[in-house]
Structure 1
Amino acid sequence: MLIFLSCFLFSVIIGIVAGLISHRPNTPKGPAFLYGGGVFGGSLTLCMVVLSTLGVL
């Protein structure tokens, strides 16, 4: 459970940074939220696949 939690928090940080980088001033925030959410999902999936392949999970 602790390994999943660390993957989750790592993915949240990556999603937040990606959303902040993709946001431009004077534009709506919605597309940046969606982009950050997509990056979060991809990062979490990638992290879980890598850990499963290494035999940690």
Structure 2
Amino acid sequence: MMVEGRVCQRRSQTWTGFCGNTRGCDIQCKRWERASHGACHAQFLGFACFCYFNC
């Protein structure tokens, strides 16, 4: 039996400004915040970097 882990997201603690580069966000989340991955997503009137963690 295989059990999938839950994935939690939170806004990056280290990314500043507009997030228009998902690859850059992904790299920063992995290196600086030890996340599984990261991506840019719409938030309010702009785009923010979100990091994803196994929880």
Choose between structure 1 and 2: higher helix proportion. Answer: 1
Structure with larger Rg: 1
